[in-house]
């Protein structure tokens, strides 16, 4: 009798609806719906492997959980008791959009379980009834035409419409036509155009009520909403308008959001975002282009070619063994599901969209990039993520293709002056550097995310070795006042305090000297630093060579007399018992305050991941090993506890001790450091408020960051008269010179030679040499980019350095001689 009752209820329920018209398999809109659905459900003719079969089980179990707990009381105000929908109280309104989106996402999981092959809920009419009931409830009471956009605008205009479109498409043939039409009208109310946001009459109460042009990753979300709605509505005009609006994101920009020619990607005006928002754009663009490929709405193929240089310039340099470097992930570092490896895998999944229509010259390199990154990530299996099943299956085919080899590691110096970022890549390790300036924000805290990001843009350095878990579960537990490479004072920071970006706080107008210079495969960076409230200043430099990274700081000053600390080390270690710490060649006894000439962190279980630090003068360090515990909700909105061991080493700066100088040797060994010590290759020539200058004797390179507009002697033969970053490599009488304008506002830079000189290489015709051997370099349109040229001295006099000419540097001529010797002798004998 119970079965008969249920059957009669279902018959009554389903016969009360008019459903979408019978399927026409030749209908272009049907073809597009099926193709979009394959991303979530897979192609019917491709078998699921073990992991995809497991995904089906997990999805069904989660859907069953949501189904069982869903509130079906006719008098209800919410679908799930743990996700309360409240449009009456002020606190409830602030999070209404967020909670509505979670509700739609749960319904989508239920819909996915209904459609996935071989699942226990496949084609279950009762769960379908519940899904339809939930959709009707949300549309009637909350997400409807005329509703107000309480809280974050993004949920109402982009997030929820995307989720709704996905759900309607995969269930299109099972849903009442009236319900589909009602949701089409609703998303058209919230997001009527593919080019603009803030268009609904309810947007005036949202976090951004301005009617505005969408840009960057928001543009691809914007077009996706309209494109999929056009498919659901069978509206060719909407589809065409969306595709037309989509193509603009491929263009380079020179301000605000989007791709920059130097490889940068900005979102929210001035935040570095190649990783997360950059992937929103990459994924949205690729998915939509693929969807309309070989249809009447196909995007212009000539226009498509522009994306491939972007892939290799704006994404590839930031990938390391499957991880996307954290310093371009913005506030997403506070999300446990968007850590470096997760974002890296998302990027690789997005890149798969671009294989099918890749030009011949990019097809193999693109496949090789994807395969290499997937193969090299031995920490997190790419195939553990099954969010886009169609691309998952394509990735499997790619990995099985024996004609695609693993690429050599990308090496070189990669400056990104539009977003104050630098990457230095070697065969074995990568160093990346995050700065900010009067052009770029220091960090972003938004929607309760990245609440402790205070100093992440203040010169934080990241060291990537084969310890691939180092930055995983890092951010909730790392001491946010002690980020490697930063100089901070002891002011207690509140959540989200200290933002200096266009949207919040205003950029730091005092920081105009921030930039880098590239010479061949090496480079240097510098920052005339002023902290978030302009009470702490410092000159900071990084000189990057294959042998190591030279770190210099000087003129560190607090105007409020605060305690100031420079953090040398803040490494997450894998195991208390296996990580060895050596101070001056001896096993560290655990003392906090130690005078250090050398420091070595070594874990025998971590291959090629040892880190060495050598100081130019004996330096007092506060050295600490501790277990730190935290929760992701401390910095974001996810509740998940984390605990890790850390080794921290920091320098207390005072008026008398207002500088630092040391070298980092990532992924090193004892023999290498000993050899390096004997050669004594690095001399500090100047380290003061005028300039930081070093001489690398091994590589015959002089590098300088010149802070002031005055004559500064770089060597006996060369002086500079402008603020600049500079590198010089000497080969006989030929000087290979690279310079940049870190201010990005100067029109020319000036150098002076003390002997007859001839220009022998000037590829862009930017040099003017007077008969007095004064050289003027035109830099007005370079925007911080380095310019390489060569000059020849016409006498036999070679490049030398006379200490008397260099001025009153605080460090003077300081070498590593004597400091390295014997540092690791004891360890080496073991």
Active site residue 766: no
Rounded to whole angstroms, the Cα distance separating 568 from 599 reads 10
Q: Collapsing DSSP states into helix, strand and coil, what is residue 137?
A: helix
Say how many C-beta atoms besides its own lie within 10 A of residue 336's C-beta.
17
Rounded to whole angstroms, the Cα distance separating 542 from 525 reads 5
Which CA distances in Å does 464 have to 422, 430, 602?
Answer: 14, 5, 15
Active site residue 5: no
Burial (CB count <10 Å: 0-12, 13-18, 19+), residue 772 = exposed
Rounded to whole angstroms, the Cα distance separating 527 from 436 reads 8
Q: Which of 29, 143, 172, 277 is catalytic?
A: 277
Q: Which of 188, 331, 345, 602 is catalytic?
A: 331
Within 13 Å of residue 450, how many CA atoms lie on the same side as its CB?
23
Point out which residues pair with 461 in neighbouring strands: 433
Radius of gyration (C-alpha) of the chain in whole angstroms: 29
Contact criterion met (CB below 8 Å) for 688 and 677: no
At 231, give phi and psi (nearest 5°): -65, -45
Rounded to whole angstroms, the Cα distance separating 411 from 461 reads 18
Burial (CB count <10 Å: 0-12, 13-18, 19+), residue 597 = buried
Helix axes 389-399, 360-376, angle to 10 degrees: 90
Rounded to whole angstroms, the Cα distance separating 290 from 36 reads 9
Using the 8-state DSSP alphabet, how is residue 248 labeled? Answer: G
Q: Collapsing DSSP states into helix, strand and coil, what is residue 647?
A: strand
Rounded to whole angstroms, the Cα distance separating 164 from 232 reads 11
208 closest CA partner among 152, 139, 165, 246: 152
Using the 8-state DSSP alphabet, how is residue 364 labeled? Answer: H
582 closest CA partner among 551, 565, 604: 604
Q: Please work out, in degrees rounded to the nearest 5, the angle formed at the alpha carbon of residue 60 by the alpha carbons of 57 and 65.
A: 125
Helix segments in 311-388, DSSP class H:
340-352, 360-376
Q: Collapsing DSSP states into helix, strand and coil, what is residue 517?
A: strand
182 closest CA partner among 148, 222, 139, 131: 139
Query: 392: part of which helix (H) or strand (E)?
Result: helix 389-399
Contact criterion met (CB below 8 Å) for 392 and 337: no
Rounded to whole angstroms, the Cα distance separating 781 from 766 reads 11
Active site residue 277: yes
Q: Which of 33, 106, 188, 268 is catalytic?
A: 268
CA 70 to chain centre: 37
Contact criterion met (CB below 8 Å) for 798 and 733: yes
The residues annotated as belonging to the active site are: 268, 277, 331
């Amino acid at each position: 009798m119970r079965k008969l009752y249920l059957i009669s209820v279902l018959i009554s329920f389903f016969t009360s609806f008019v459903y979408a018209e019978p399927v026409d398999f030749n209908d272009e809109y049907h073809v597009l719906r099926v193709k979009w659905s394959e991303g979530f459900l897979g192609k019917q003719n491709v078998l699921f492997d073990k992991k995809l079969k497991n995904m089906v089980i997990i999805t069904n179990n989660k859907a069953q959980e949501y189904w069982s707990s869903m509130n079906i009381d006719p008098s209800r105000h919410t679908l799930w008791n743990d996700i309360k929908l409240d449009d009456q109280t002020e606190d409830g309104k602030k999070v209404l959009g967020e909670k509505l989106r979670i509700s739609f996402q749960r319904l989508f999981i239920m819909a996915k379980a209904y459609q996935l092959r071989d699942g226990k809920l496949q084609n279950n009419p009762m769960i379908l009834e519940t899904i339809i009931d939930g959709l009707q409830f949300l549309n009637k009471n909350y997400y409807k035409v005329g509703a107000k956009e309480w809280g974050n605008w993004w949920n109402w205009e982009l997030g929820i419409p995307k989720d709704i479109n996905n759900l309607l498409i995969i269930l299109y043939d099972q849903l009442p036509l009236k319900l589909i039409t009602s949701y089409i009208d609703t998303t058209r109310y919230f997001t009527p155009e593919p080019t603009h946001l803030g268009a609904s009459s309810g947007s005036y109460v949202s976090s951004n009520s301005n009617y505005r042009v969408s840009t960057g990753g928001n543009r691809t979300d914007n077009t996706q909403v309209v494109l999929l709605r056009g498919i659901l509505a069978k509206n060719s005009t909407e589809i065409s308008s969306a595709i037309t609006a989509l193509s603009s994101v491929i263009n380079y920009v020179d301000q605000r959001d989007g791709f920059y020619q130097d490889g940068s990607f900005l979102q929210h005006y001035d935040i570095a975002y190649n990783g997360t928002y950059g992937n929103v754009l990459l994924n949205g663009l690729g998915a939509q282009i693929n969807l309309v490929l070989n249809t009447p709405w196909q995007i212009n193929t000539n226009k498509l070619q522009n994306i491939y240089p972007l892939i290799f310039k704006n994404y590839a340099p930031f990938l390391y063994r499957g991880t996307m470097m954290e310093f371009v992930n913005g506030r997403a570092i506070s999300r446990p599901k968007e850590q470096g490896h997760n974002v890296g895998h998302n990027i690789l999944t997005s890149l798969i969209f671009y294989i099918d229509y890749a030009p011949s010259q990019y097809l193999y390199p693109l496949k090789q990039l994807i395969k290499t990154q997937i193969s090299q990530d031995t920490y997190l299996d790419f195939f553990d993520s099954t969010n886009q099943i169609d691309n998952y299956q394509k990735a499997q085919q790619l990995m099985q293709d024996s004609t695609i080899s693993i690429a050599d590691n990308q090496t070189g110096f990669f400056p990104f002056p539009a977003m104050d970022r630098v990457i230095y890549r070697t065969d074995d390790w990568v160093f990346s550097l995050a700065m900010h300036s009067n052009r770029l924000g220091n960090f972003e805290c938004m929607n309760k995310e990245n609440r402790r990001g205070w100093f992440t843009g203040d010169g934080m350095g990241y060291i990537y070795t084969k310890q691939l878990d180092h930055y995983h579960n890092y951010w909730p537990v790392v001491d946010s006042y002690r980020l490697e490479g930063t100089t901070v004072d002891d002011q207690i920071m509140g959540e989200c305090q200290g933002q200096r970006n266009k949207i919040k706080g205003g950029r730091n107008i005092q920081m105009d000297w921030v930039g880098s210079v590239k010479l061949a495969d090496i480079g240097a960076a510098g920052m005339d630093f002023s902290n978030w409230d302009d009470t702490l200043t410092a000159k900071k430099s990084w000189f990057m060579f294959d042998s190591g990274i030279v770190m210099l700081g000087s003129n560190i000053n607090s105007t409020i007399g605060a305690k100031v600390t420079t953090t040398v080390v803040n490494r997450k270690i894998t195991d208390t018992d296996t990580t060895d710490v050596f101070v001056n060649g001896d096993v560290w006894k655990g003392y906090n305050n130690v005078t250090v000439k050398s420091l070595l962190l070594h874990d025998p279980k971590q291959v090629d991941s040892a880190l060495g630090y050598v100081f130019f003068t004996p330096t007092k360090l506060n050295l600490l090993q501790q277990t730190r515990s935290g929760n992701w909700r401390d910095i974001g909105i996810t509740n998940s506890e984390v605990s890790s061991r850390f080794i921290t080493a920091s320098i207390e700066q005072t008026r008398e001790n207002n500088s630092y100088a040391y070298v980092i040797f990532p992924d090193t060994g004892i023999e290498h450091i000993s050899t390096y010590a004997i050669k004594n290759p690095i001399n500090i020539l100047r380290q003061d408020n005028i300039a930081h200058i070093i001489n690398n004797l091994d590589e015959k390179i002089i590098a300088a960051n010149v802070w002031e507009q005055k004559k500064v002697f770089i060597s006996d033969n060369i002086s500079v008269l402008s603020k600049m970053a500079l590198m010089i490599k000497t080969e006989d009488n030929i000087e290979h010179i690279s310079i940049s304008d870190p201010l990005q506002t100067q029109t020319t830079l000036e150098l002076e030679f003390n002997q007859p000189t001839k220009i022998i290489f000037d590829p862009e015709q930017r040099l003017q040499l007077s008969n007095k051997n004064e050289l003027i370099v035109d830099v007005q349109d370079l925007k911080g980019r380095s310019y390489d040229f060569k000059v020849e001295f016409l006498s036999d006099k070679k490049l030398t350095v006379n200490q008397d000419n260099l001025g009153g540097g605080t460090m003077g001529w300081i070498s590593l001689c004597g400091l390295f010797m014997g540092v690791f002798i004891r360890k080496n004998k073991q």
